[in-house]
Amino acid sequence: MNLDLPLIFAALMGLAILLYVVLDGYDLGVGMLMPAADAREQELMVASIGPFWDANETWLVLGVGILLVAFPVAHGIVLGALYLPVAAMLIGLMLRGVAFEFRVKAEGWHRGLWNWLFWFGSFLASFAQGLMLGRYVTGFHPGFGYYLFAMLVGASLCGGYVLLGATWLILKTEGALQKKALAWARWGLLWVALGVALVSLATPVVSQTVQAKWFDFPRTLALMLLPLATLVAGWRVWASTGRLKRGEREFDWMPFAAAVAIFALAFAGLAYSLFPYVVMDRMTIWEAAAHPSALKFVLAGVAIVVPFLIAYTAFAYRVFRGKARAGLYE
Amino acid sequence: MDADVLLLARAQFGLNIGFHILFPSLTIGLAWILLYFRIRYARSGDPAWLATYKLWTKVFALSFAMGVVSGITMSFQFGTNWPGFMQKVGNIAGPLLAYEVLTAFFLEATFLGVMLFGMNRVPGWMHIVSAAMVALGTTLSAFWILALNSWMHTPAGQVMDAGQIIAGDWMRVIFNPSFSFRFTHMMLASGLTAAFVIAGLSAWRLLRASEDVSARGTLRTGLVLAAVLAPLQMFVGDLHGLNTLEHQPAKIAAIEALWETQKGAPLVLFAVPDDDRRRNDFAIEIPKGASLILKHDGDAEVKGIDAFAPDAPPVAPVFFAFRVMVGLGTLMLVLGWGGTWMTRGGALPPRWLLWTLAGSTFAGWIATLAGWIVTEIGRQPWLVTGVLKTAEAAGGASGAQLGASLTGYIITYAVMLIAYFVVLTHLAGKGTAA
């Protein structure tokens, strides 16, 4: 059997990164929304993500791990080029990760400090991830315009995570906090819409490769399904939050599901733009791939472990299903 | 590559890995101790065990979070600081790290949620299973990372294929010559670290509230554990040393501060090694001691630094760190045995012992760090012995980038460590009464 191992690993890496973005995205989003809530609500918000955040972040380690295993040369190039945003992201993730623990145990002004660090860490990590994405898709070109573009992506990703966080809270909370979350979700959606539109328009301008791939009739017509589907998903968020706000019948998971759909679609668009490059315009997945012996060894592990991983992840989400309750850390 | 930039890259990586190693070395041992507390509660139904379990779960959760976030940093720094490492030996290092993520990280992270927050949501047996999965996950994590680390010290099982280093035999790669020694040594170090943290923080509590029955129980648990593990560790450490003599003799020469190859080499008890002039000042030696210990023959030849130069490690840090490690190991043995004796029959030990134990809370950490300095500086200038030198693996990050991010890391780690100590002393001071 002749497997296209680099392609399989590119798909696995994409899946890990998408899962990371969606899963850690909602808990980073909740972190960024903390200052908008009162002290009692903040406890519920943290309780809604407490059991999950650690496993969510593990997807990032898996994503970068696959990059390292499958495309070791690209791993060095990409992370070397993203040196400072990576450092900023890591510091952000560290601060918010430990703030989960410290904010509960601290007292007085210390508690306020850790709450602030929790917010700041969430924001720093989200913005840095967007910055990394913006630098990555443009092949790390130097130049003011490219950096401005990366900042734009950074801001958009923050908006996206706020949307995920707010819709997660709609699912996991009730009453006054859920009402607030509904309003946050709608603001987040507007932010995302603006960001996605700007990024979609700007990407072909800053990258010739992307332009050539998208504006190629008649393929363009088929590709237009992606933005159309994204519009539909965006509309689902808007409509479902509207119905929930008015107290009409609607599933409380609908806004979150629709927000996840937006991310999956945007991700598909990006994947299409990049493929087959692992370093934009410089190195394809086949050029960067590790030796088949290494890939086969890891693939065997993936095949054995992933079913268990899915099973116990499903188990954990089942254990903590339903609305979040305060006093989680008691 | 500029020597100063290389030094910055090493300083940064050393800082991160040194900070990171503290937390797994505590949580691996603590996870199994927590499982023990949890099972004691399940069997006895005694709420004191539950309170004990809950208190130490808080310490565990905090330490685990510190380990997770600094561990994520590590996974990125392989690429940012040592791209040459991945280019040269990525076909071996990559899969081992991937197996760690797949088999260990997800397991411990997911079940940690259930263990920490799910006690009232799952049946008791399921909660015990979750605690066991967390402990298993931490141990599996150590298994893979030490397989990689040992392979870097004593590479085996690799072959060349079209100019690339690949694994010819994964079993030989994983179970390379130093793996079983290093893994056992690290597991015991983790157990000792956890034992002294538990004993030390319990002693701290007893100094404030001597009537605390729960703290007396955990003090005893920590001391008995230390009494059992400390002699085992000495035995395993000795075996590990002989294994190092066989595979990395330059490291042993640095440990012994032996500059010249000689027959009937002396055992240098204390000295101030001078790496520039290649000699020891203020040396206190036992004639023929090193030959006797290492070769079991007082007249046997032992290789000195001169046999390996210029590919020899710096002597002073390895020499001193080794003595710190062994000294602390001896202290732990004395405290473990003495403490176990003095707490027999549930007796409250005298205050001076409680103070000593409280002061030794982090003895395991310091010994672990010292041991880590011995083994990692002792293999320099190699990153992978005989295969890749550290200087060849460094990346293109500029001194300014490294300096800026290093400053950021130092500040972040300092804040985290201070907060960690404050919370730990606070938790321990309140005990299970909180």
Contact assignment for B103 to A301 by CB distance below 8 Å: yes
State residue B193's pLDDT score: 95
pLDDT at position B405 is 82
Interface residue of A89, A90, A312 to substitute, partner B, most B CBs within 10 Å: A90
Contacts of B66 in chain A (CB under 8 A): 98
CA distance to partner chain B, nearest, from residue A248 (Å): 31
Q: Measured between CA atoms, how close is B173 to chain A, in angstroms? A: 12
Q: Among residues B1, B65, B86, which one has the least CA distance to residue B402? A: B1
SS3 A294: helix
Secondary structure element (H or E) that encloses residue B132, with its range: helix B124-153
Question: CA nearest B394 in A: which residue?
Answer: A76
**pLDDT tens per residue across span B377-416:** 888 888 888 788 888 887 767 778 788 888 888 888 888 8
The pLDDT assigned to B160 comes to 83
- Residue in the block written with tokens 């956890």: B194
Chain B residue with CA closest to A96: the answer is B69
C-beta separation of A237 from A259 below 8 A: yes
Instruction: Identify all chain A residues contacting B143, using CB atoms and an 8 Å cutoff.
Output: none
Q: Is A68 in Cβ contact with B90 (below 8 Å)?
A: yes
Residue B2 confidence (pLDDT) above 70: no
Enter the tokens of residue B160. Answer: 């060349």
Please name the member of B97, B118, B420 whose beta carbon is closest to the beta carbon of A319: B118
Q: What is the largest CA-CA distance in chain B?
A: 70
The reply to whether residue B86 touches residue A76, judged by beta carbons under 8 angstroms, is yes
For residues B199 and B357, the answer to whether their CB atoms sit within 8 Å is yes
* pLDDT of amino acid A152: 87
Q: What is the residue type of A210?
A: V
Which pLDDT score, from 0 to 100, does residue A83 have?
81
Record the tokens describing residue A171, joined without a space.
Answer: 């699912």
- Tokens, residue B395: 């990346």
Give the residue from B336, B343, B48 showing the smallest Cα distance to B195: B336
In 3D space, the residue among B9, B61, B39, B44 whose CA is nearest the CA of residue B427 turns out to be B61
**Which residue of B76, B94, B419 is in closest CB contact with A86?**
B76
| Res. B1: pLDDT tops 60 | no
Cis peptide bond upstream of B287, omega within 30: no
Which residues lie below 8 Å from residue B263, measured CB to CB, with a gap of 6+? B291, B299, B300, B301
- Cβ neighbours of B417 in A, within 8 Å: none
pLDDT exceeding 90 applies to what percent of chain B? 28
Query: Which has more confidence, B190 or B249?
Result: B190
Contact: A301, B102; criterion CB under 8 Å = yes
CB B65 within 8 A of CB A105: no
In residues, how long is chain B?
A: 434
Record the tokens describing residue B259, joined without a space.
């500059």
Six-digit token pair at A14?
Answer: 């994409």
10-residue stretch averages of pLDDT, chain A, 330 residues long: 82 90 92 88 86 84 85 82 86 85 77 88 93 86 85 90 93 87 91 85 80 81 87 91 86 89 90 84 86 86 86 84 70
Element (H, E) at A275: none
Total number of residues shown for chain A: 330
**Which of A17, A16, A29 minimizes the C-alpha distance to A259?**
A29
pLDDT for the residue numbered A1: 55
> In Å, how far is A273's CA from the nearest CA of chain B?
24
pTM: 0.85
- Whether the Cβ atoms of residue A185 and residue A260 lie closer than 8 Å to each other: no
Contact call for B79 and A306, based on CB within 8 A: no
* Residues B17-45, mean pLDDT to the nearest whole number: 91
Q: Mind giving me the DSSP string for B20-31?
A: HHHHHHHHHHHH
Of B52, B113, B116, which Cα lies nearest the Cα of B428? B52
The reply to whether omega before B24 is within 30° of 0 (cis) is no
Contacts of A298 (CB under 8 A, 6+ apart): A9, A69, A70, B94, B95, B98, B99
- Residue with the two structure tokens 């918000």: A45
**ipTM of this complex > 0.85?**
no
Does residue B85 register a pLDDT over 60?
yes
Mutate to test the interface with A, among B13, B16, B57, B72 (most CBs of A within 10 A): B72
Output DSSP code: residue B431: G
Residue A329 pLDDT: 54
